[in-house]
């Protein structure tokens, strides 16, 4: 018995150049499309009569981009979703995932080149559109925003059992590669400015927070977004704890005044939570 199924196309790479006389604009996206619907006959019987080829999904991305400029990721996702729902009767639900590869302009003295670009820093912008016969929801996100703070981060007061060796600390490095996704309460937003406002809030709270743990800071960041951005109604945050271990210099007759660290990626802590607008948390 088929309990659940989906099929689609992943890693469709689209670059669009918009050419104004004195400057070009770039959209550089990786797109995934996923169909759910009444396709059991293709699985059970090899009947492809309703199976839009994933190759056609890919072609559709390029054709729709050619018909009208891509614009914001969320808007392009909505166009793609609507296109597929309109033309595929067996399709119940389509999901479009879009990751934007950000480019900045190469500086030209005090100004900027109009037609030359360099890849921007960490933290890709992501978007997801999920559309069904009964409605559509738009989410956005940021992937792998690498941040570190060197003050105002502690971890104390935790329980100790027979296998606990970790010392308490009031002053550690806190580093993570934040991935956050949030759902909008509307599909008709100014997506670009809203995304930038969420990103700024996440960075600002991370920087300012007096952290008792990754959990504590993650909650403050998520709550900060819910407080500041009315169009966000749910936010999910994932924060690996990229440990920076103070080096034991005592065998060399040296003191480590909390200055020399080994950066590690393996193993790492992994903290996640989903926060929603609503009553106080039940603690």
- Which span sits near a second copy by CB under 8 A: 73-81, 117-125, 126-134, 186-194? 117-125
Listing DSSP states for 48-110 in one string gives -TT---HHHHHHHHHHHHHHS---SHHHHHHHHHHHHHHH-TTEEEEEEEEEE--EEEEEETT
Angle value at C-alpha 269, between 266 and 272, nearest 5 degrees: 135
Whole-number minimum distance, CB 140 to a second copy, in Å? 18
CA distances from 172 to 91, 149, 167, 238, 264 (A): 51, 9, 11, 20, 14
State how beta strands 124-132 and 103-108 pair: unpaired
Which of 96, 158, 193, 232 is the binder for a second copy (CB under 8 A)? Answer: 158
If the CB atoms of residues 124 and 188 are measured against a second copy, the closer one turns out to be 124
260 C-beta neighbours (distance < 10 Å), count: 13
Q: Of 237, 240, 272, give the one whose Cα is nearest residue 175.
A: 240
- How is residue 155 annotated by DSSP? B
Under rule CB under 8 A, residue 106 binds a second copy: yes
Chain residues 66-95 in contact with a second copy, contact rule CB under 8 A: 66-67, 87
Under rule CB under 8 A, residue 170 binds a second copy: no
Peptide bond into 189 cis (omega under 30): no
Backbone angles phi, psi at 81, to 5 degrees: -60, -45
Whole-number minimum distance, CB 248 to a second copy, in Å? 9
Whole-number minimum distance, CB 209 to a second copy, in Å? 9
Chain residues 27-66 in contact with a second copy, contact rule CB under 8 A: 28, 32, 34, 39-56, 58-60, 62-63, 65-66
Which of 20, 110, 111, 119 is the binder for a second copy (CB under 8 A)? Answer: 119
Query: What is the dihedral angle through the alpha carbons of 39, 53, 30, 69, rounded to the nearest 10 degrees?
Result: -110
Chain residues 231-270 in contact with a second copy, contact rule CB under 8 A: 234, 240-241, 244, 247, 249, 251-256, 258-270
Q: How many residues does the chain have?
A: 283
Under rule CB under 8 A, residue 111 binds a second copy: no
If the CB atoms of residues 188 and 200 are measured against a second copy, the closer one turns out to be 200
Q: Name the token pair of 258.
A: 């909390």
Under rule CB under 8 A, residue 227 binds a second copy: no
Residues acting as catalytic residues: 9, 54, 243
If the CB atoms of residues 112 and 186 are measured against a second copy, the closer one turns out to be 112
If the CB atoms of residues 186 and 264 are measured against a second copy, the closer one turns out to be 264
If the CB atoms of residues 12 and 229 are measured against a second copy, the closer one turns out to be 12
Chain residues 182-211 in contact with a second copy, contact rule CB under 8 A: 203-204, 206-208, 211
Q: Of 159, 154, 149, 151, give the one whose Cα is nearest residue 170.
A: 154
If the CB atoms of residues 44 and 186 are measured against a second copy, the closer one turns out to be 44
Which of 111, 133, 134, 280 is the binder for a second copy (CB under 8 A)? Answer: 280
What region, left, alpha or beta, does residue 135 occupy, with left being phi > 0 and alpha being psi -120 to 50 degrees?
A: left
């Amino acid at each position: 018995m088929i309990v659940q199924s989906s099929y689609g196309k992943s890693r469709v790479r689209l670059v669009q150049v918009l050419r104004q006389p004195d400057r070009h604009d770039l959209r550089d996206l990786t797109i995934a499309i996923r169909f759910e619907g009444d396709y059991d006959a293709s699985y059970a019987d090899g009947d492809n009569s309703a199976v839009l080829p994933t190759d056609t999904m890919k072609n559709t991305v390029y054709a729709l981009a050619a018909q009208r400029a891509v614009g914001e990721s969320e808007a392009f996702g909505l166009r793609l979703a609507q296109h597929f729902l309109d033309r595929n009767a067996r399709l119940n639900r389509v999901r479009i995932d879009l990751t934007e590869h950000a480019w900045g302009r190469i500086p030209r003295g005090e100004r900027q080149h109009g037609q030359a670009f360099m890849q921007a820093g960490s933290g890709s912008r992501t978007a997801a559109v999920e559309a069904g016969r009964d409605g559509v929801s738009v989410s956005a996100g940021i992937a792998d925003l690498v941040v570190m703070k060197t003050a105002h981060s502690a971890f104390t007061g935790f329980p100790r059992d027979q296998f606990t060796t970790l010392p308490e600390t009031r002053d550690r490095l806190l580093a993570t590669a934040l991935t956050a996704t949030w759902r909008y309460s509307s599909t008709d937003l100014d997506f670009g400015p809203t995304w930038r406002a969420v990103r700024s809030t996440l960075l600002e709270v991370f920087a300012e927070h007096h952290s008792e743990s990754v959990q504590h800071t993650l909650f403050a960041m998520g709550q900060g977004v819910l407080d500041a951005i009315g169009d966000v109604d749910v936010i999910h945050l994932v924060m690996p704890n990229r440990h920076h271990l103070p080096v034991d210099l005592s065998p060399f007759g040296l003191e480590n005044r909390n200055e020399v660290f080994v950066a590690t990626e393996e193993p790492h802590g992994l903290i996640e939570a989903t926060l929603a607008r609503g009553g106080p948390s039940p603690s």
